[in-house]
Amino acid sequence: MSINEALKEILSSKQKRVLYTFFSKIKLLFLKKQIGKNSYIDSTVNIFGWAHVSIGENTLVGEQSWINVNGREKNFNHIVIGDYCYLGKRNLLSSSRKLIIGDFVMTNNECKFLGSNHIYNDPMSPYIATGTTNDDIQKIGANVWIGAGTIVLGAVTIGHGSIIGAGSVVTKDIPSFSIAVGNPCKVIKRYDFKEEAWIKVQDFDLNTEELMPLEKEYIKNLRKNTKGLEMPIMAATSKYGDLY
């Protein structure tokens, strides 16, 4: 009997999640990383610049993802990932001044967050040696759902409560509680808190924006719904095979 088969026989789904999270934490324990409790970072994830990365509690980072800190300022977190986040497989995070992933952010596979760019002022110099830009801030607000293959470029903010469709290329700010799709990414719907429904953007009354909760208030409300929440650790890794 294989190890996987033995685990299927012995362990419940909850026990498996606890076990794999524990193994992940043991690997990182002696490295003094800034990782909150119950978070799982797959062993295949590459992180360059650990001293400048902060990862919150109950967060999962999927296999073969790459987290890259470019300019590195002493005692400064250039990449901050919040609580209860799920970053899918093969995601790429590349910071400029700062890249902020808010609480409860969920990304599908192959998403890319490119805050920095190579400096190309002088085309007579090899771009690989000219360095990168390190002035911009890229922010993904709380409880944003980002579809597979999405690319977020430069100093943009995606407002809390928003949904970005698969394959989108985000080059401009997206307001809170929006559904946006396409290349370039455009808002097609907004959530109307008066009607309690998603409304086509052309029919959305901007006056209802005052009913939208601020991000801090929104996070407090989201946290009230975390009781019994089980983060999908098996979606973040294929290392252990099908254990269900």
pLDDT tens, residue order, the chain (244 aa): 555 566 556 667 667 666 666 665 565 555 557 899 999 999 899 999 888 999 999 999 999 999 999 988 988 999 999 999 999 999 999 999 999 999 999 999 999 999 998 889 999 999 888 888 889 999 999 999 999 999 999 999 999 999 999 999 999 999 999 999 999 999 999 999 999 999 999 999 999 999 999 999 999 999 998 888 888 888 888 775 554 4
Task: Establish whether the linkage from the previous residue to 126 is cis, with ω within 30° of 0.
Answer: no
The one-letter code for the residue type at 26 is: I
**Which residue is listed with tokens 């250039």?**
78
Which residues are identified as catalytic?
118
Please enumerate in sequence order all residues whose Cβ is within 8 A of that of 201, keeping only pairs 6 or more positions apart, or say none.
178, 187, 188, 189, 190
| pLDDT tens figures, 1-53 | 555 566 556 667 667 666 666 665 565 555 557 899 999 999 899 999 888 99
Bridge-based pairing state of the strands 197-200 and 186-192: antiparallel
Q: Which residue in 198, 199, 163, 197 sits closest to 181, CA to CA?
A: 163
Whole-model pTM? 0.84
Position 101 scores a pLDDT of 98
Please enumerate in sequence order all residues whose Cβ is within 8 A of that of 1, keeping only pairs 6 or more positions apart, or say none.
9
CATH of domain 33-231: 2.160.10.10
Position 244 scores a pLDDT of 43
Position 30 scores a pLDDT of 54
Position 149 scores a pLDDT of 98
Position 4 scores a pLDDT of 56
Please answer whether residues 78 and 59 qualify as being in contact, where contact means their C-beta atoms are separated by less than 8 angstroms: no
